[in-house]
Amino acid sequence: MKMTLRACAVAAMSCAAALTFTGAASAEVKLPDTLVWSAYDTGSSGHAQSVAIGKAFKEKYGVNVRVLPGANDIARLTPLRVGKVDAVSNGVGTYFAQEGVFEFAKPEWGPQAVRLIMSSKGSAGLMVGVAEDTGVKEVKDLRGKRVAWVKSAPALNHNVTAILAFAGLTWNDVEKVEFAGFGASWEGMTNNQVDAAFAITVSGSTKAVAASPRGLLWPGLPFADKAGWDRMMAVAPYYTKNKVTAGTNVPKEGIQGQAYPYPILTVREDMTSELAHAMTTALIESYDLYKDGAPGAAGWALENQTFEWAVPYHDGAIAAFKDVGVWTDAMQAHNDKLVARQKVLIDAWAAFTKNAPSDEEAFVTAWAEARIAALEAAGLNPVIR
């Protein structure tokens, strides 16, 4: 009933294995002639940063990086699941895929054995942008306003849920307007179809709204509002406080907001350690070539890595971090716990699907209960219920 990443490896040969390796410009970094990544839509920060990295890889290693845009998490992760891409330049949808929640709770998905390579985190924020002509100044002012909901994009929508919770609001307090993809949601802002949408503040898609008669602003999340932060973190515990100083229409004094790593370069657990090591080393070595190539790309710096996050790193990436002396025993212990969490989830899915309901709605409901029970039995926090 399910197709996990490991199962799909049997059905489709991964890109890494199918390609011939070449030691182009570095004696240590041996990459395929071509790498294929999926990313957010054209115009997104994740896509632009991936293209900039690809240009650096071409210059330094003679490697072509093809970047395939995907409108939502399913569109980006499906090619990874079936072995059509090597990696996904993704958002927090990687975490949802690991957890087997939202769109990944359906029979054809389930918890996925994903791993991290590296990620970007800098002075940008992951925020809800609002058309200035709405009069909205604070998150609480979104009550009654039109807010974008992107189909099959739980990463985007759950972030909006969390930010609404900051002000004690839910989707029932706003008008949900559905869009097919991230880019379409921001075009909807420009076209006055919607009043607010989620994005990283440096996303290219935000510029058209800022330049339009509607204007653009980013309601802050004041650090002193402990109750607001408590409500928001209960929904999205992967957030961190971030003084946002980079992005479209971000004032010079900055905004008190939040961030988490984005983009997150995600691969399958069964990627070879050699390829994962080479990709990580290449990202570290070529940083100076791509750091100014796209808004937010400087966030890939080694010192900006979130080594103890919510999804485990690939063993090959860990080897690369050890090469440069930044991986600690504490990080390894944290990573081991995350790997163990994935095993609990994948084992729970395997047991559940043996006698799961055939009706999809009943399936999703029953899986949510089984997932929570398995995690709690293992002494782990389900986070998403």
- pLDDT tens, 118-168? 999 889 999 999 999 999 999 999 999 999 999 988 889 999 999 999 999
Residue 13 has pLDDT above 60, yes or no: no
Phi (first) and psi of residue 305, to 5 degrees: -70, 140
* 29-84 confidence digits (pLDDT tens): 999 999 999 999 998 999 999 999 999 999 999 999 999 999 899 999 999 999 99
pTM score > 0.85 for this model?
no
Parallel, antiparallel or unpaired: strands 34-39 and 87-90: parallel
pLDDT score of 122: 86
pLDDT score of 20: 37
Q: Any residues with CB less than 8 A from the CB of 329 and at least 6 apart, and which?
A: none
Lowest mean pLDDT among 1-15, 121-135, 174-188: 1-15
Cα 318 to Cα 116: distance, rounded to the nearest angstrom: 10
Lowest mean pLDDT among 161-165, 294-298, 368-372: 294-298
Q: Residue with structure tokens 């070529």? A: 286
Q: What number of other Cβ atoms are within 10 A of residue 343's Cβ?
A: 13
When the pLDDT of each residue in the chain is averaged and rounded to a whole number, the result is 92
* 305-358 confidence digits (pLDDT tens): 999 999 999 999 999 999 999 999 999 999 999 999 999 999 999 999 999 999
Task: List, in sequence order, the alpha helices (H) in the chain.
Answer: 5-11, 15-18, 45-61, 73-81, 93-99, 154-166, 182-190, 206-211, 226-235, 273-285, 287-290, 315-323, 329-352, 360-377
Cα 80 to Cα 88: distance, rounded to the nearest angstrom: 7
pLDDT score of 9: 43
pLDDT score of 152: 86
* 211-235 confidence digits (pLDDT tens): 999 999 999 999 999 999 999 998 9
Residue 382 has pLDDT above 70, yes or no: yes
pLDDT score of 7: 47
Domains with residue ranges and CATH for the chain:
5-121+262-343 (3.40.190.10), 126-259 (3.40.190.10)
- In percent, how much of the chain has pLDDT > 90? 88
* Cα radius of gyration (the chain): 20
